[in-house]
Structure 1
Amino acid sequence: MNGYVETDIKESALELIGNTPLVAFDRLYTGPGRILAKCEFMNPGASIKCRSSLHMINMARESGELKPGAPVLEVTSGNQGCGLAVVCAVLNHPLTLTMSKGNSVQRAVHMEALGATCVRVPQVEGTYGNVTLADVKAAEAEGLKMVEETGAFYVNQFNNKSNADAHYYSTGPEIWKQTGHRVDAFVATVGTAGTFTGTSRFLKEKNPEVQCYVVEPEGSQPIRGCDITKPLHLLQGSGYGCIPNIFQFEYMDGTLSVTDEEAVHYKNLIGQKEGLYVGYTSGANIAAAVKLLESGKLPKDAWVVTVLNDSGLKYSATEKM
């Protein structure tokens, strides 16, 4: 065979992170307006957290804070751990993760299949599938103890600026390009606030008129300024009952609340109408997008962009309503 033949071969799984499709949910929601969903479950770790995992590790390596081959440790609800497991496997960093036993065991299985060690920490007050801030703090305490004992690099996603920067440099620009620069609103659940803060910052820099809304579980709405009346909810990885340290109010135009029942309803509709099997926060994001479009706060032909955070395969059957 003569001549040069162009190939399209990725060097590693790291090149599979990002550049996810944006799909119209025209079957689930028929208007007025339109819902566009970013398919973050298509990242190699099956969630949006692959983006921040790669960026946080790369920044630590570039700064010299993380040496080649050095151990890494993080506290996770599962998705960040899976993303870090992808990155650390490729870059040859031993990875240890602490996670509440209330988070889906599927996530621990996923992380360990990629070579990570997952330490599942007993819950303080939650139940399986319902993780509270106290449960997260217990996992954090165990993680910090291990960091002190081992000297591992602590990723610290809740306080790491590179978490939000990952979405400023990737998620936001991708959405802007994919929509042809037409975004009327962006809505997203908040865990660490990396996705919301970074994406909203980028979109508002491009067009200050873009409306950005935080999605919170009903009864756990600290960003809205409400007392916490329901710390137990189904939205794993979000709605921890506190305002995250990297959250920035200047990029927020309002909040939307979603009940467990609404999240489950739309999670199921995404599967039945759009053929995509996703998790509970994805259902909450779509529920919130529908509420915003039906609120009259946007033009009738508005395009609302949101994210499908992770795969439904990360959840247990016992978590169903």
Structure 2
Amino acid sequence: MAPNVEPNEIKSSALELIGNTPIVALDRLHPGPGRILAKCEFMNPGASIKCRSSLGMIDKARKSGVLKPGSPVVEITSGNQGTGLAVVCAVLGHPLTIGMSAGNSAQRAIHMEALGATCIKVPQVEGTPGRVTFADLKAVERFGLKLVEEQNAFFVNQFKNPNNSEAHYNSTGPEIWRQTGHHVDAFIAAVGTAGTFMGTSKYLKEQNPEIKSYVVEPAGAEPIKGESITKPLHILQGSGYGYVPELFNYDYMDGTLSVTDEEAVKYKHLIGEKEGLYVGYTSGANVAAAVKLLQSGLVARDAWVVTTLNDTGLKYSPEPEEDS
């Protein structure tokens, strides 16, 4: 007789740890009216939401034959995409080189390098430590393109790669829809590449066109809203670069919400003090925006607003000082 074999939950690799993150109700931080539901993306193996798009973009490149087994990979990043790619490339055996602005936190470079990636910090041209501008990003892009040529590498190109948003359409959106029991009144998210917002919003609106989707932008850097840039330096690393991302599509947006640095910091701390979750600045901004939305009259008073806690607070240096 064959022995009785108990089913197990052993995962074959870190890739199977990506996604299926829980949703938590922030009822202590916001007791109502309405409810804020937050997707715990810091629980991905790279400690951020970018693990999803990293796996999606690399998987599609391998399946299409654009990325050959063992071939080098290059990307430019504020840190989270690079860390997600480091997880994926470590498991799949691709040498990874990352270009990152020196203005992004050192903790991110440490994390990537611990996973076997090479992280090269590009000097800032405009920003300050903890505050990275579009000009800084362009400097990193120019450096990254040189690396691609030198290494004959696959360039992930998260800002223009449609498989970025596709990963969220295939995973983040369906998970939210399932986990909430199909009860979503609004979805909000900060925008860097626009991958999370676009993929998730598109999926949710296909399930229920009445769902409202709002972009979170740093106050003073609100190009999606159509405003002139008055504050390119802000603390929301990885978002709010001061231009409308190529992946962005206004068809899936119902409006924008602005958040100041002070509000992002306040809610970052409240998420820790009230909910026991240590997260980063864009997570604080998302929750601040969710509170604003519930108080705005744009949605019903008892609405369920879903957002994302994008990464862990362990990825950040101490809060940067205010500009003089």
Shared fold per TM-score greater than 0.5:
yes
Where does residue 80 of structure 2 map in the other structure? 79
TM-score (norm 2): 0.98
Where does residue 34 of structure 1 map in the other structure? 35
What SS does the aligned partner of 1:319 have? coil
- In the alignment, the residues of structure 2 paired with residue 318 and residue 167 of structure 1 have an alpha-carbon distance, to the nearest angstrom, of 30
State the superposition RMSD in angstroms: 1.0
Where does residue 218 of structure 1 map in the other structure? 219
AA at the equivalent of 2:49:
I
**Paired residues for 1:191-270 under 5 Å:** 191-270=192-271
- In the alignment, the residues of structure 1 paired with residue 194 and residue 291 of structure 2 have an alpha-carbon distance, to the nearest angstrom, of 21
Residues 255 and 106 (structure 1), Cα distance of their counterparts in 2 relative to 1, 3 Å cut: same
Where does residue 314 of structure 1 map in the other structure? 315
What SS does the aligned partner of 1:157 have? coil
Cα offset for 1:283? 0.1
- In the alignment, the residues of structure 1 paired with residue 147 and residue 240 of structure 2 have an alpha-carbon distance, to the nearest angstrom, of 26
**Paired residues for 1:15-164 under 5 Å:** 15-164=16-165
- In the alignment, the residues of structure 2 paired with residue 163 and residue 109 of structure 1 have an alpha-carbon distance, to the nearest angstrom, of 24
- In the alignment, the residues of structure 1 paired with residue 168 and residue 59 of structure 2 have an alpha-carbon distance, to the nearest angstrom, of 14
- In the alignment, the residues of structure 2 paired with residue 282 and residue 133 of structure 1 have an alpha-carbon distance, to the nearest angstrom, of 21
- In the alignment, the residues of structure 2 paired with residue 139 and residue 103 of structure 1 have an alpha-carbon distance, to the nearest angstrom, of 12
Where does residue 273 of structure 2 map in the other structure? 272
AA at the equivalent of 1:205:
E
Cα offset for 1:149? 1.4
- In the alignment, the residues of structure 2 paired with residue 140 and residue 266 of structure 1 have an alpha-carbon distance, to the nearest angstrom, of 32
- In the alignment, the residues of structure 1 paired with residue 3 and residue 134 of structure 2 have an alpha-carbon distance, to the nearest angstrom, of 63
What SS does the aligned partner of 1:306 have? strand
Cα offset for 1:317? 1.5
AA at the equivalent of 2:233:
L
AA at the equivalent of 2:92:
L
- In the alignment, the residues of structure 2 paired with residue 320 and residue 175 of structure 1 have an alpha-carbon distance, to the nearest angstrom, of 36
Cα offset for 1:319? 2.8
Cα offset for 1:299? 1.2
What SS does the aligned partner of 2:29 have? coil
Structure 2, gaps ≥5 residues long: none
Q: What are the Cα deviations for residues 44-94 of structure 1, in whole angstroms up to 9, with x where unaligned?
A: 000000000000000000000000000000000000000000000000000
Where does residue 5 of structure 1 map in the other structure? 6
Q: What are the Cα deviations for residues 244-274 of structure 1, in whole angstroms up to 9, with x where unaligned?
A: 0000100000000000000000000000000
- In the alignment, the residues of structure 1 paired with residue 65 and residue 320 of structure 2 have an alpha-carbon distance, to the nearest angstrom, of 42
Q: What are the Cα deviations for residues 145-168 of structure 1, in whole angstroms up to 9, with x where unaligned?
A: 111111100000000000000000
Matched residues, percent identical? 73
**Paired residues for 1:161-200 under 5 Å:** 161-200=162-201
- In the alignment, the residues of structure 2 paired with residue 319 and residue 16 of structure 1 have an alpha-carbon distance, to the nearest angstrom, of 32
- In the alignment, the residues of structure 2 paired with residue 294 and residue 39 of structure 1 have an alpha-carbon distance, to the nearest angstrom, of 23
- In the alignment, the residues of structure 2 paired with residue 320 and residue 9 of structure 1 have an alpha-carbon distance, to the nearest angstrom, of 45
- In the alignment, the residues of structure 2 paired with residue 147 and residue 273 of structure 1 have an alpha-carbon distance, to the nearest angstrom, of 45
In the alignment of these two chains, the number of paired residues is 321
Q: What are the Cα deviations for residues 223-246 of structure 1, in whole angstroms up to 9, with x where unaligned?
A: 000000000000000000000000
AA at the equivalent of 2:18:
I
> Does 1:282 find its partner at 2:293?
no
Q: What are the Cα deviations for residues 268-295 of structure 1, in whole angstroms up to 9, with x where unaligned?
A: 0000000000000000000000000001
Cα offset for 1:300? 1.6
Cα offset for 1:315? 0.1
AA at the equivalent of 2:60:
M
- In the alignment, the residues of structure 2 paired with residue 318 and residue 202 of structure 1 have an alpha-carbon distance, to the nearest angstrom, of 35
Q: What are the Cα deviations for residues 17-42 of structure 1, in whole angstroms up to 9, with x where unaligned?
A: 00000000000001110000000000
Residues 12 and 138 (structure 1), Cα distance of their counterparts in 2 relative to 1, 3 Å cut: same
Cα offset for 1:2? 4.3
- In the alignment, the residues of structure 2 paired with residue 238 and residue 294 of structure 1 have an alpha-carbon distance, to the nearest angstrom, of 24
AA at the equivalent of 1:7:
N
Structure 1, gaps ≥5 residues long: none
TM-score (norm 1): 0.99
